[in-house]
Every structure is written in C-alpha cells, then in structure tokens.
Structure 1
C-alpha cells in the first residue's frame, strides 16, 4: 500500500458534505457528462499537448488505470470530488517529491453548477492537510492562470502565498500560457489548513 493512499477525506460544510475519494472506473458516465456539459466553462483552463507530442486518446477506464499506477508509485493522488454524494469534479495531487524537496502540486476542476459553494477551498484544504500529515510533505503549490478569477479567489481565501509569475508555464489550447504560483509550507499552517479555513468560513 502506498503511504497515504487510498484514502477518503471529508468535511461537512454549511453548503454540504465535501468528500475527496479515489477516482474509479464506475465514475465514467457521470465524469463524462460533467466534462461535456461544462466544456465551455473548463476548456479555457485545461492543459493540452503541443502539436507533435500527442498521444492517442484512451478510454476513461484506461485513464483511471493510468492514475492508479501513478498513485501506487507514490507520485500522484487522483481524487474524485463529491458534494453531497454527487461527483462534481476532480482534484489531483501530482509531482509528489520526497528527499530534499518534500513537495507536491495541486490541480483541480469543478462543474460550474457546483462552483462558488465552498467545495473547492474545502477540498484543497483537505488535500493539503493530508499531504502535510500522512505524506509528511513540506510544501504544496498551486499554479493558476492570471485570468482565472474563481481560482485566484480560492487561494486568497486559503491564504496561499503569491510567489510570482511563471512565464509560458503550461500549454493550454494551442499556446504556452503564463501562470501565477501560489504556495504553502507546513510551518505556515501548524494547526492545519482546514481548521484555519473553517474558522475563516465561520467568521472566527
């Protein structure tokens, strides 16, 4: 068994129950419906592969199998994101590195109809706390397009530090796009990020 995986993470919020759990093959229909219905909402932020470096599209089952292999190798944690028992998105902890770095990156997407209800900051906080405690990582970063206002609000709410712009960082829809990097280290949230977010959410 990989350290810290598989795992189910949960927090009950005023807007509903937020759960992170392993993405599974049985999610195929719901996941595909979400991606098709939210194409216009998600496409501007989805990473793409530069021309000449493409790989053939696979099935959802092969996609989940590939993610499971990465999870077993200890480099990735592929979560389905649920709100009140319904799959509404995905959160992936990737680039998990130990040794002198002990770091990882978090990326996510959520259906438009579930956005703005607090599920994303809660899910990010759950994942960060799991990485700092179970995986004993030291640093977590999130990279966001400067134009992605909803995601910028998420890191602002959670208190991530803005570390500046990475120019031409990620390939998106045919071009290399700048991203702003936001990060947290374990020393910055000694009581846990979820507890800090809950206190902010409740106005304490």
Structure 2
C-alpha cells in the first residue's frame, strides 16, 4: 500500500501547504517556485479549478500531513488525450520514494478514470533528481527543447519525457 494519498486542495490547506513550501525554498530553487504567500496560494487554487487541470496534494497516509503537490495540466481530449505532469515535494520528504508513489497514483488516475493516452514530463537538464525519478518510473526520454519554459524571468531548456498508457500498464504489471 502506498505511503501517500492524493486529494484535491482546498482553501483550508493554505497554512499546511505554505509551511511545507516556505521550509523548502532552498530545496526547490532554482527548479520550481511553488506558492509561498497567501496571494500565491489563492492563485494556485484558481489554476487548480481550471477545466483542463487535475491538481492534487500529496499527503502522508500515516497522519494526513501535506507533503507536496502534483498536477496534470493542459489536459487535452479528442485525438490527443494527453497532459503534462508537474510535481514537487517538501524538503523533509525528499529522496524517500514518496513522490515516486505520488506520480504512480497520478498515472493510475490519468490512464484510468481520466482516460488519457500520454503524459509528458518536462525537466530542466540540471535537475538530476527529477530526471532519475521519471526514469525509475519508466518514462521514455523523447527529446530536448531549447528555451522551452519561462521560469523565474528566463527561458529555460528542458528534457522531454513521456509515459504512454500501454507502457504504464506494462510497467505496473512488470
């Protein structure tokens, strides 16, 4: 049984998520900049409510503590049936396998109830931990996109990884 569970964020999660994020600034920088203020948390909730977004908090099964977040964004149906995955975990929970379990749960949802075919993860080349994480989960490296995403005031290169529904089924069963 996974040590984590996923649930939608609510306004009552503000203090818990901001605490985790504020305590993890050095851990997340320069890769990701999750909400650390009340205003940023409000904007995060607004993004979570968008129709093309599936956002969940990563919570510890043992006590329900908020550990981080995972989002499937830009969900497209029709011929594409795809989304992008983004994720982060608090520094206190890093490198213990929690995010691996969380991504696996998100992929189960993506390829199950959400009926998606493809999930893409775009990772900055220097983010070795995140690259190793998706590789352990069976994602396939598909390419390199120069100046792909605008983060912290600059365009940043990203390596592109993808998981297909049939690959996840094989991985999960294997």
TM-score, scaled relative to structure 1: 0.77
Give, in whole Å, the separation in 2 of the partners of 1:30 and 1:68: 17
Give, in whole Å, the separation in 1 of the partners of 2:167 and 2:40: 41
Give, in whole Å, the separation in 2 of the partners of 1:126 and 1:152: 18
Aligned residue in 1 for 2:125: 146
SS at match of 2:56: strand
Structure 1 stretches of 4+ moved >6 Å? none
Give, in whole Å, the separation in 2 of the partners of 1:37 and 1:134: 34
Partner of residue 85 from structure 2, selected from 106, 113, 121:
106
Q: Does 1:58 align with 2:39?
A: yes
SS at match of 1:159: coil
Q: Does 1:78 align with 2:55?
A: yes
| 8 Å contact kept, 1:169–1:178 | yes
CA shift, 1:121, in A, is: 1.1
| 8 Å contact kept, 1:79–1:90 | yes
Unaligned runs of 5+ in 1: 1-11, 49-56, 200-204
* Structure possessing the higher relative contact order (Cα contacts under 8 Å, 6 or more residues apart): 1
Give, in whole Å, the separation in 2 of the partners of 1:168 and 1:47: 18
Question: What is the RMSD of the two structures over their aligned residues, measured on CA atoms?
Answer: 1.9
Partner of residue 172 from structure 1, selected from 147, 151, 155:
151
CA shift, 1:59, in A, is: 5.5
Aligned residue in 2 for 1:19: 5
Q: Larger radius of gyration, structure 1 or 2?
A: 1
